[in-house]
Amino acid sequence: MNVPNKFPELERIDKITHRFKKLGVNFEREVLSTIDYKGKEYPVHGFVIGSKDTSVPTFGLFGGVHGLEKIGTHIILNYLSSLSYRVSMNDFVKKAFESVRFVSIPMVNPVGVRHNKRGNGNGVDLMRNSPTEAVGKKIPFASGHRKSSKIWWYQGRKGVLEKESETLINFVKEQMFSSEFSMALDVHSGFGMKDRVWYPYSKTADSFPDEKKAVMFKRLMKLINPFHIYHVEPQSDSYLIDGDLWDYMYDLQHFNPKYSGTFLPWTLEMGSWSWVKKNPFQLFQATGLFHPIKPHRVKRTMRRHWWLLDFFTNSVANHENWEKLIK
Ligand SMILES: [Zn+2]
């Protein structure tokens, strides 16, 4: 029989849950699924904060898809924690949650986070695991492959969705697809020197149907904060991948006439190579390329992206205003 588990990220989730429960806003935290790995249980938690009406504007924040990139999970947990304090201290914030929703899975791949693995317990790279196939110039292995679970970027067996992928898809479907306007931000680290904010597609260099809206959002970002640090671009500008879960979910929502709202999935890819450049010792540590090691750099990374998360939250809540303003 599998036994429940304990590790820092799970304990943090429990603490934050405890605080939210006392705040008088609608709050749910649910164990969406449980992953069994080597005799232990790894819960995947989903948070829903704010209005119960799934048609209102919704911001979804996701992390820990690649377990090694645990800084993403930490950034989200810090944001959730801060949000809990702000809800209790700031009536404007509390009031806002009556008409918007904030949803989150801070740790999509708990086995990976706990054991410093990119993939899940089966060695599958969840961000290569959906049924979509890329068309265009792919990078051998890194764009996704089905050769062996021992090699990074393994997509898993054809036609088989991993439990974590299924959990994420079902949660996004239930919590975001029916919204009049929703944006997701999936937090990653480990590619390049710059901090990038990517919009779809990653399966093709062709534009995605909501490209115009994504570009409007990019302009809004520049208007609100002309000195922001992000390179905002389609993911396909960097590389193409097979099996991207967000491409898959975007198509699922966009091409289903049942849903009339806009669903824009974004990825924050923190350029962690600069962490290594400044601290080459990181190369020799398991999580080195993907997680800043020196405490001051962890703090700096937390601070650096704070603005972006607030900007997404505010932009989702006020989407009608900027959609009218920006042409
Ligand atoms: Zn990643």
State in Å: Cα 269 to ligand 1 middle. Answer: 7
State the Cα–Cα distance between residues 129 and 140, nearest whole angstrom: 16
Mean pLDDT of 8-32: 92
Global model pTM greater than 0.85: yes
State in Å: Cα 320 to ligand 1 middle. Answer: 31
Residue 226 lies in a domain: yes
Give how many domains the chain has, as a whole number.
1
- 161-171 core/surface letters (b: 16 or more CB in 10 A; e: else): bbbbbebbbeb
State in Å: Cα 92 to ligand 1 middle. Answer: 34
Element (H, E) at 154: none
Residue 195's pLDDT is: 93
User: Which is higher by pLDDT, 270 or 274?
Assistant: 270
Provide φ and ψ at 140, rounded to 5°. Answer: -50, 135
State in Å: Cα 189 to ligand 1 middle. Answer: 6
In the numeric block, which tokens belong to residue 284? Answer: 């020799």
Residue 325's pLDDT is: 86
- Which CATH number belongs to the domain containing residue 50 in this structure? 3.40.630.10
Distances (CA, A) of 165 to 33, 47, 156, 243: 11, 17, 11, 11
Task: Answer yes or no: is pLDDT of 273 > 70.
Answer: no
Which residues span the domain enclosing 156? 8-322
State in Å: Cα 126 to ligand 1 middle. Answer: 9
Confidence of residue 300 (pLDDT cuts 50, 70, 90): confident
State in Å: Cα 37 to ligand 1 middle. Answer: 21
Residue 61 lies in a domain: yes
Beta bridge partners of 104: 47, 61
Residue 280's pLDDT is: 58
- Choose among 240, 290, 245: nearest CA to 269: 290
State in Å: Cα 31 to ligand 1 middle. Answer: 23
State in Å: Cα 67 to ligand 1 middle. Answer: 8
Residue 270 contacts residue 189 (beta carbons within 8 Å)? yes
pLDDT in tens, 103-133: 999 999 999 999 999 999 999 999 999 999 9
pLDDT in tens, 155-191: 999 999 999 999 999 999 999 999 999 999 999 998 6
State in Å: Cα 69 to ligand 1 middle. Answer: 6
Residue 2 contacts residue 40 (beta carbons within 8 Å)? yes
Percent of the chain at pLDDT exceeding 70 = 92
Residue 1 lies in a domain: no
Q: In sequence order, which residues have a C-beta less than 8 Å from that of residue 14 and are 6 or more positions away? A: none
Confidence of residue 200 (pLDDT cuts 50, 70, 90): very high
Residue 244 lies in a domain: yes
State in Å: Cα 68 to ligand 1 middle. Answer: 8
User: Which is higher by pLDDT, 74 or 23?
Assistant: 74
pLDDT in tens, 258-269: 999 999 999 999
State in Å: Cα 304 to ligand 1 middle. Answer: 18
State in Å: Cα 286 to ligand 1 middle. Answer: 15
Residue 2 lies in a domain: no
Residue 107 lies in a domain: yes
pLDDT in tens, 66-85: 999 999 999 999 999 999 99
Residue 92's pLDDT is: 85
State in Å: Cα 27 to ligand 1 middle. Answer: 28
Residue 29 contacts residue 20 (beta carbons within 8 Å)? yes
Residue 89's pLDDT is: 87
